[in-house]
Amino acid sequence: MRLIILSDIHANLEAFTEVLAWVDRSFQGREVPDRIISLGDNIGYGPDPNGVMEIICERNILSVLGNHEMAVLNPAFLACFNPVAKKAADHTRSHLLPAFKQVFGGWSQSLVVENLLFVHGSPPESPFVYLFQLSDVILQRKMEAMDQWVCFTGHTHDLELIVLDNGNLTHQELGQGEIFLDRQKKYIVNAGSVGQPRDGNPSAKIVVFDMETGRLEVVFVPYDCHTTAMKIRRTSIPDVYADKLLKRF
């Protein structure tokens, strides 16, 4: 089974459509991936929540709940947001179509596909906890408790690979290109972000994973971030989220 894994699209229609165009160009015929899976936060921060959600529904993309979807379902979760993020979330909540709010109601906080776990923040199913908030001791306990080989997460907007090998936990950088995962080890793969990357490179980040071979490829997809930034500035979303797209942070 071959999967395309996306995270943190954040209502960035330009990045999302460019990523899907790359997928459509790169995989044809028998090479078509079995599934596209989103790790949540498809909305928030960006100017096009309805456009992104329309495509997710049209293409039958599986998704787990991110903290931004959770805040739409239950405004009490806005207490977990800082004031700037809350202002962006308020914009999303006021503009998102009711039909898409209903879609969120059918999503769960985690998803298991064969021997893989998908969650927005941290295993086993937190949309809110960041990996960097967890000590290595706690991370190791979580990974040892996992029934799955690999857990894919997002939330931090930064690529990362965490490896548990015979009781030893290591953090490794994850960049553009391919690696092969060992079935004798356990992994957490942070897939970065499609629509609000935090690594200083504005390109959308996606992960391609082949379950049979263990091949994991990180792909950087360039897109017109200036258009998205301009659209953000025309809304009530704080300008900082436009600045972050242009690396002015």
Distance of alpha carbon 151 from alpha carbon 118, whole angstroms: 6
- pLDDT (0 to 100) of residue 29: 64
DSSP-derived letter for residue 77 is: G
**pTM > 0.85:** yes
The C-alpha atoms of residue 11 and residue 245 are separated, in whole angstroms, by: 13
The answer to whether 229 and 195 have CB atoms below 8 angstroms apart is no
What's residue 247's pLDDT?
Answer: 79
Amino acid at 151: C
**How far apart, in whole angstroms, are the C-alpha atoms of residue 89 and residue 76?**
12
The confidence score (pLDDT) of residue 30 equals 59
Structural domain count, the chain = 1
Continuous H helices in 27-127: 49-58, 67-73, 83-95, 98-104
128-151, pLDDT tens digit by residue? 999 999 999 999 999 999 999 999
Closest residue by Cα to residue 144 from 174, 164, 170, 117: 164
Residue 28's pLDDT is 74
CATH of the domain at 47: 3.60.21.10
Are the CB atoms for 197 and 184 separated by under 8 Å?
no
Which range of residues forms the domain containing residue 162? Answer: 2-245
β-sheet with 116-119: strand ranges across: 110-113, 116-119, 150-153, 186-191, 159-165, 168-172
Low-confidence ranges of the chain (pLDDT < 70): 29-31, 248-249
DSSP 125: T
Q: Is the dihedral of CA 140, 206, 109, 117 positive or negative?
A: negative
Q: How far apart are CA 26 and CA 100, in angstroms?
A: 29
Collapsing DSSP to helix, strand or coil, 114 comes out as: coil
